[in-house]
Structure 1
Amino acid sequence: MVDINDGDHFVRADLHIHSYGVDDGSFDVTDESMTPENIVNTAISSNLSIISITDHNEIGNSKKAIDYAKVKNILVIPGIEVSTTQGHLLVFFETFTNLRSFYGKLTISDNKERCDQGIVECLDYAKQYGGFGILAHIDLDSGFEKVIGRFNDVTEACFSHPELLGLEISKKDNFEQYQTS
């Protein structure tokens, strides 16, 4: 049993936020109030300590949020949600420079809806720049499990990749399916 009063420190965080912006945000966000500045301000007023703007196949608003938050009491982690050929992957980096270098390796469609790389290739690129990945909403239609399915070579390659550090499960009822003994 872990004693949470024995040096552990918990913070409130949201590492999967999409923003608005024709050129710099997620292609599917239509709420014009979802600017990087408004997201940072709302996060602070909601007592969040850490956030990441992880737009679909875009990094411009991640940089804007990082810059805006520099003088505020919140950490903004550079990130992106990559819409790979095998499902969605959240990828995070220590610096925006590393995120930008990772992004430069990707082949993104003109409409920003799809990345031509698969999950393992993206995780390999992330490793080159000190990043790590979390499979996004694996239990939804755009998630890994629905796109690839369970128990095959692709699943094994992804789940055993050293840069894959987590799974995002969207529905609380699905949590038990992903527990280990």
Structure 2
Amino acid sequence: MKLSIDLHIHSALSPCGDNEMTPNNIVNMAYLKGLDVIAVTDHNTMLNAKPVMELGKEKNILVIPGIEVTTKEEVHVLCYFKELKSGMKFQDIIYDNLPNVKNNTEVFGKQLIFNKKDKVIGEVNKLLINSTNFSLSEIRDLAIKYGGVVVPAHIDKKAYSIISVLGFMPDNLKFNTVEISVNQDYSLLDKFIDIGNYNVIVNSDAHYLGDINERISFIDVKDKTIGSVISYLVKKRRNKV
């Protein structure tokens, strides 16, 4: 079963996300673009995951509980979970291990929490875009403990990617799926890794509604369930380039 995806979208809870990135707006834009599966992956938090998941069901869009974590090395990784409940336990640990630095809304933007009617029900005061106290390997182990999977984010980018920070893909961490940006030239990545050894997902990393993926990125799974998507991301070489 081939499903169109965008598994890296930021809501207005991320300080860098546009204030129009509300749960309804995100789901409706994904619906208009014909997406089957999405994930809202805000920086170091999952507090907007629940309303997006609820709204996704109404539009027959599968929403994966997700979060974008910044490791101690300043590497961005995407963490996805089989269940929202376990993901929220993970995100509580992540949040508690962020520096106690207050968000400056004039500099970084607001960090808004919504309900499913797009009403603002809260605002996170701690700055969410800082690095956690956890290393890359510690994040991987913690995510697995809570039934999740870790995917190195935008490995082609020149900042906050595992390649730009480390210069290589650590074999001991056994990542089987990586994310690349839209319109990436694979030949640039070949200098650092054998991309054919990995499942590859192409996500938008959208901070604005218009940037959410069209039907350009697909995964082939057994059925349209969170479990099948997680299994795809966990298993090795399911999507050879």
Q: TM bucket by the smaller chain?
A: 0.7 to 0.9
Aligned residue number for residue 58 of structure 1 = 45
Compute the RMSD of aligned alpha carbons.
Answer: 1.8
Q: Aligned pair 1:136/2:136, yes or no?
A: no
Q: Aligned pair 1:122/2:134, yes or no?
A: no
Aligned partner (choices 147, 153, 165) of residue 147 of structure 1: 165
Aligned residue number for residue 169 of structure 1 = 180
Moved more, 51-60 or 169-178: 169-178
Aligned residue number for residue 44 of structure 1 = 31
* 1:77 CA displacement: 0.4
* 1:161 CA displacement: 2.6
Aligned partner (choices 10, 18, 31) of residue 18 of structure 1: 10
Output the CA distance in 2 between the equivalents of 1:82 and 1:105: 11
Aligned residue pairs, count: 161
Structure-to-structure mapping, 1:27-38, within 5 angstroms: 27-29=15-17, 31-38=18-25
Deviations for 1:72-109, whole angstroms, at most 9, x for unmatched residues? 21100000000112300000001110111111222123
In structure 1, what residue type is equivalent to 2:11?
S
Deviations for 1:88-144, whole angstroms, at most 9, x for unmatched residues? 000000111011111122212331112221111111011111100100012211111
Contact 2:156 2:184 in 1 (8 A): no
* 1:146 CA displacement: 1.1
Output the CA distance in 2 between the equivalents of 1:15 and 1:44: 14
Tell me the SS of whatever aligns to 1:168. strand
* 1:55 CA displacement: 0.7
Compare relative contact order (CA 8 Å, sep 6+) and give the higher one, 1 or 2: 2
Q: Aligned pair 1:108/2:125, yes or no?
A: no
Output the CA distance in 1 between the equivalents of 2:98 and 2:176: 24
Contact 1:88 1:144 in 2 (8 A): yes
Segments of 4+ moved more than 4 angstroms = none
Output the CA distance in 2 between the equivalents of 1:19 and 1:52: 10
In structure 1, what residue type is equivalent to 2:82?
E
Structure 1 residues 11 and 180, CA gap change in structure 2 (3 angstroms) = closer
Name the TM-score, length of structure 1 as normaliser.
0.81
Unaligned regions of 5+ residues in structure 2, if any? 100-125, 198-241
Contact 1:19 1:55 in 2 (8 A): yes
* 1:173 CA displacement: 1.2
Unaligned regions of 5+ residues in structure 1, if any? 1-8
Output the CA distance in 2 between the equivalents of 1:132 and 1:165: 10
Structure 1 residues 169 and 78, CA gap change in structure 2 (3 angstroms) = same
* 1:71 CA displacement: 2.6
Contact 1:84 1:119 in 2 (8 A): yes
Aligned residue number for residue 205 of structure 2 = none
Aligned residue number for residue 97 of structure 1 = 85
Contact 2:65 2:83 in 1 (8 A): yes
Deviations for 1:42-65, whole angstroms, at most 9, x for unmatched residues? 101111000000011111111220
Name the TM-score, length of structure 2 as normaliser.
0.62
